[in-house]
Chains A and B, each alone.
Chain A
Amino acid sequence: MSTSELPRKEANVLKGHEGAVLAARFNSDGNYCLSCGKDRTIRLWNPHRGIHIKTYKSHGREVRDVHVTLDNSKLCSCGGDRQIFYWDVSTGRVIRKFRGHDGEVNAVKFNEYASVVVSAGYDRSLRAWDCRSHSTEPIQIIDSFSDTVMSVCLTKTEIIGGSVDGTVRTFDIRIGQEISDDLGQPVNCISLSNDNNCILANCLDSTLRLLDRSTGELLQEYKGHACKSYKMDCCLTNSDAHVTCGSEDGSIFFWDLVDASVVSKFRAHSSVVTSVSYHPKDNCMITSSVDGTVRVWKT
């Protein structure tokens, strides 16, 4: 993908959130997107047409992360109320609430089969919750982190968590192994490359670090943006050619994956860009910001 194909034109502005939008996520096929924010709501949008479809209200505090299953039937969300909500997408009802985290929950993800929700919390733990049974107890608590877990990623066989203690820990269920990669800097957000071979970690020293998952090698560092105090997402483009991340000044950065040069940088929001999410297939990206908007970017 050449640089010119990067989504830099604003296609739509999704307005509706009152207050900061903390996360925006495409669904698995990229036709819809979800956003959640300080106004305690989760909103479902059609980003391509700029339509607000549904609002999910039940959280008692800000919603920090949301994830939708592959079949678009269920949502999970988490936030400041220390609970993970398991929603039915179409009815907008909460199917289940998972309580157990001793602090705010920063991130939440479904596994491939949507049978388990894994959440990362301020209480230094990753917790796995069973969506199939009616038990409200976590089926696994991973507490080997020594500080807040900020972000979690799941593959088919692994749980990967990034923590403020500077580590990215991969828990391989298949072989029963924990691999801890200490980056030395608080990890804000981790995201997997599309081939699942690399982890992109957004560290609080305003650096994105690309790790090789098999060896734990540091492949590249991406600098230029400002990320010192906010939880900000980062991601790779769908072709894995570029790395993108927001900045605390409201701009969006694109780096070349290999030579770590800033390919593109433009001002997208008036305030901190909290989240970026790249379309799984098209050259399209959504960004959310503290200014209360979600913006859709296309080429």
Chain B
Amino acid sequence: MDSDEEDYVFFGTPIEREEEITSRRKKAAAEASGNLRSLPPWKQEVRDEEGRRRFHGAFTGGFSAGYFNTVGTKEGWAPQSFTSSRKNRAEVKQQSIFNFLDEDEKAELEGTLGTSSQFDTFGFTAAEFARKQADKEQKQRPSAIPGPVPDELVLPASESIGVKLLLKMGWRHGRAIKDSRASSLYDARREARKAFLAFASEDVKAPYPANEPDEEPESFMAQPVDNDTQSSKSLPAFVCNPKQDLHGLGYDPFKHAPEFREKKRLHLSNDKQHGYRKAISIKDSLFGSKSGKAAPGFGIGALEEYDAEDEDIYGAGYDFEETCVEEDEEPSKLSIESKQPSRLDIESKQKVVAKDQGVLPGFKVASVSDYQLERFDPPIIPKDFIPHHKFPGPLETLKKLDVPSPPEVPPPDDSNLKLLIEGVAKLVTRCGKLFEDLSRKKNQSNPLFSFLSGGDGHDYYEKRLWEEHQKLGDQAKLSLDGKHSPSAQKMTAEGRGKLLGEKPLGRSSKETTSSSIASREFQLQFNLSDTFKKPDSFNKLPEVAKPFKNDPAKQERFEQFLKEKYEGGLRSTGYSSASNMSEAARAREKLDFEAAAEVLEKGKWGKESMVSTQPLDFLAAGMQFTSGGLEQVKDTHAEELVTKEKYPRREEFQWRPLPVLCKRFDLIDPFMGKPPPAPRARSKIDSLLFIPDSVKDAKPEEDAITNRDVPAAQTGAQKTIEAAEEEIEIVAENVERPVDLYKAIFSDDSDEDVEDTNTKKVEDPEKKIEVATTTLNRLIAGDFLESLGKELGFEVPPDTPYSTNKANSSAQIETPNSDAGIAKVGTVEGHGTFCAPNVGTGTSLNPEQETTQGSESPKNESIPGKPVRYSSKHTDGLSESISGKVNAEKFPPGDKKVRSPSSRRRNWSSSSSSEDERSRKHSRRHRYRSSDSYSDSSSDDRERYHPRSKGKRKRSSREKSSSSRKHSKHHKHRSRDSPSRSHHGSEREHSESRKEKRKRRN
């Protein structure tokens, strides 16, 4: 086909009728919309929807119809032919209008004609209609379900037969059955309204604007309509009262005020109560619209109610709910109403005007009442009255004093129990009965606390409790008296006694029972002892907070100082006990005390563990502690003097502005081209705390320096030299007792009970140590801890990410163990920083030492089965023996490969510094918690190892091939180490080296 068509030749352009039509349409549309419309009517043309001109006018062709101005078909209109034959009779044709209509006309006709459901009074339509009707009613009636009711759910029946009948008789929905117009009430009302408006126009009230007369006709015209709609309410629909308020179910806001309920009910329903109008309802309808939405500008007649038309349709859609709040307003409305004299005398018969708020409907206020509310002036306060209530004393304690004392009971034999009982009694007295109940409940199962619930020692407990109460009461009384008795008061003997803290004797009751006699006796004793009791504040000094425990004399002086500081009063100047001290020493001590007291104070304010105990340790070490800036305001004169001489204090630091800042300030960067400065320590304490940080930061430089004197260089680099000096002292002190290290580490940490027991076991060998070996021991301590941690698999908190940092290939396998070990080393390392200058004592890395010990090392290696002996010989014993033992068990002696300490070290020296620091902090806490500061040398070896390990790393990569030589070398280093570590390490080293070898081969 396609090829056939190609053979045709077309000439000219084909006529496109379609195109034409559309253009015509367009034109028609354009004309219809635009330009032609403006033409005069005689020039306009009528066109059909296709844009065709259909009407041609009488002279130009008439009305065009049919097919292109013809009828129906193409052939045009042909009259119907009439044929009739005998066989085929012509039927009588019924003509209809449709026979003579065009199609469009037909369509038009069909559009208009049709059945309307409105007239369908049966079936579905009727139901629908009924529903609509119900809907309409629903809107007028309050509904239980707010909003439109779902139609599908509620399908009301169509009108009942009675309604239908009524409808047939001419009644319409919403009309009264009786004749509405004929009521005489209507006329009367009309009259009333006229009168009212006449009056009302005189005084302009809010709802009635000034242009009222103009409006009057309107409202009158609206009157019939009004009345109609009023009457629409004539049939009270039966509605179950829906819940409209927001009260809870069953709550009756008018329970105690039934008169308001009545008002409310009337108020709500007065639009439905036709013909029954009370004064109140009228008033309400006057000034409060039923919907609250009256248009502001338009008033209505006095006797009319607001209706649907009167509502302000333009008002904001606020539909206030009628709750009892509004109920409260009602009286005020009434009062407003009552203020204006009622002029509606026409209906005054029906109307009772309430003159006062409290008048019930139906009652009237007496015009003359003999009851007059009398008002009295408030009593005049005497001029000398001080508005401060003086309590006679704490009621409870006073009451307690009257309680007869329980009989004297010997304390239980068990001293522990006795202590416990006393402690609990004290606490219970302080904290109240509640505490007792609580602890009783808590310790129900604990046999130790059976005394609380009447068990062993209950009597004694009772006794103690009573005593404590007595004591507390006295104290409270004392303090109270001290506070409130004005100094001007005459001082009696008793008063003076009180002031001095004496306790009046013989205060017990007059009872003559034996128990009371006993109690009196006891009380006498007690009072005597208590007369010289410690002052309150001092009592409160917690047991923990004895900063100078080591030096009892000093502690005593400190306590004296505290007393002085917080209590004031007359005391002998100077410390009697410290008279032999020099002036300077005393001054320094005073400063110490000052600082310690401050710390204590701070500790009292909450931060217990860290802040209070740490500085105390420093104090114990002979440091001077001064806090930065948190000085408390004390109003004692001495304190002020101190602050005056102290402040302002100037300190200078290096501070590095960033280059951008300098640029923006148009200044030359003072640090241009210089490396970033080390972070500076903020205070003495901080410098102590953060030394490890600076050590860490100094590491890169340190590497560049020679290996041996690194620690010294480090401390030199630090700015806080005095701190370092302190450290030196500390170190010097503690060299002799390295055991404290372990104790301090282990005894305080709850995690490490195991070690504790272990250390006890090996206490004996420890005694045999020579002093010379201690240095060695200290070196090993780090390694020991490391290995110990490994053995016991301790979890030392924050080190998990650490393993990932390792460059080691065997990291994964070793992770848990090595972590623990590292953490341990970390702890030691923290101490190590404090003894940095002390390296000389602890250096075993020095070549000579190495060589001396080199002789031992082969032995160590060759007899791996007897590590215990060696360790005990070399060290303090405890550490070595444990580690040795454990290692002997754990690691087969056959494993002779030695792992160099340096390679072990390498792991954590290359680790992230933050981890290190954290563990260091951890260690610090350990140290501070112990009463003594001590040092440990293990960090020395850490520092020593560190640079070496670096070199080692390079070497190891290079000289793996000569592993045998290396081993021997390591051997030498290792000799100082415990065999355990070497063994353990050897495993790893082995695998490592193997791996490396493999790598090399590849």
A residues sitting closer than 8 Å to B (CB atoms) are 111-113, 115-116, 128, 130, 132, 139-140, 142, 144, 146-147, 156-157, 165-167, 171-185, 205, 209, 211, 215-218
Contact = CB atoms under 8 A, between A and B. Distances in A.
A176 B657 contact: yes
B652 A173 contact: no
B652 A179 contact: yes
Contact of B651 (A147, A174, A179, A218): A179
Given A144-B682, A166-B631, 19 more contacts: A111-B665, A113-B664, A113-B666, A128-B661, A142-B655, A144-B655, A166-B629, A173-B662, A173-B665, A177-B655, A179-B650, A180-B652, A182-B628, A182-B647, A184-B631, A185-B633, A185-B647, A209-B648, A215-B650
Contact of B653 (A116, A140, A144): A144
29 contacts: A113-B664, A113-B666, A115-B665, A116-B665, A128-B661, A130-B660, A132-B664, A142-B655, A144-B682, A146-B629, A147-B629, A166-B629, A166-B631, A171-B657, A173-B662, A174-B670, A176-B655, A177-B655, A180-B652, A180-B653, A181-B649, A182-B649, A182-B651, A185-B647, A205-B633, A216-B649, A216-B650, A217-B648, A218-B647
A175 B651 CA distance: 15
Contact of B648 (A176, A177, A184): A184
Interface in B618-640: 628-631, 633
A211 B647 CA distance: 11
Interface of B is mostly: loop
Nearest to B668: A174
Contacts of A216: 648-650
B671 interface: yes
A146 B628 CA distance: 9
Contacts of B628: 146, 165, 182
B352 interface: no
B615 to A, nearest CB: 16
Interface centre among A174, A184, A218 (most CB of B within 10 A): A184
Contact of A176 (B646, B647, B650, B656): B656
A209 B644 CA distance: 12
A176 B666 contact: no
Interface of B: 628-631, 633, 643, 646-658, 660-662, 664-668, 670-671, 682
Contacts of B671: 176
Nearest to B649: A182
Nearest to A204: B633
Given A156-B665, A167-B629, A182-B628, A140 B650 contact: no
Contacts of A174: 667-668, 670
Nearest to A113: B666
Given A177-B652, A218-B648, A165 B629 contact: yes
Given A146-B682, A178-B654, A211 B648 contact: yes
B629 A182 contact: yes
A16 B278 CA distance: 53
Contacts of B631: 166, 184-185
A115 B655 contact: no
Nearest to A116: B664
Interface of A is mostly: loop
A184 B647 contact: yes
A174 B670 CA distance: 6
B796 to A, nearest CB: 30
B661 A139 contact: yes
B533 to A, nearest CB: 36
Contacts of B670: 173-176
A188 to B, nearest CB: 14
Given A178-B654, A179-B652, A184 B667 contact: no
B661 A140 contact: yes
A177 B654 contact: yes
B650 A184 contact: no
B653 A178 contact: yes
A177 B653 contact: yes
Contacts of B652: 177-180
Given A130-B660, A174-B670, A157 B650 contact: no
Nearest to B665: A173
Contacts of B664: 111, 113, 115-116, 128, 130, 132, 139
A275 B909 CA distance: 56
Nearest to B671: A176
B680 to A, nearest CB: 8
Contacts of A147: 629
A205 B644 CA distance: 13
Contacts of B665: 111-113, 115-116, 156-157, 173
Contact of A181 (B646, B648, B660, B666): B648
Interface centre among A113, A172, A180 (most CB of B within 10 A): A180
Given A140-B657, A184-B631, A157 B648 contact: no
Nearest to A175: B670
B687 to A, nearest CB: 14
Contacts of A165: 628-630
Q: Which 3 interchain pairs have the tightest Cβ spacing?
A: A216-B650, A178-B655, A184-B647
Given A144-B682, A180-B650, A209-B648, A171 B655 contact: yes
Nearest to A111: B665
A146 B667 CA distance: 28
Contacts of A182: 628-629, 647-651
Nearest to A201: B648
A83 B649 CA distance: 33
Contacts of B682: 144, 146
A165 B628 CA distance: 8
Nearest to B658: A140
Contacts of B650: 179-182, 215-216
Contact of B646 (A146, A172, A184): A184
A146 B668 CA distance: 29
A188 B907 CA distance: 51
A116 to B, nearest CB: 5
B431 to A, nearest CB: 33
A150 B840 CA distance: 50
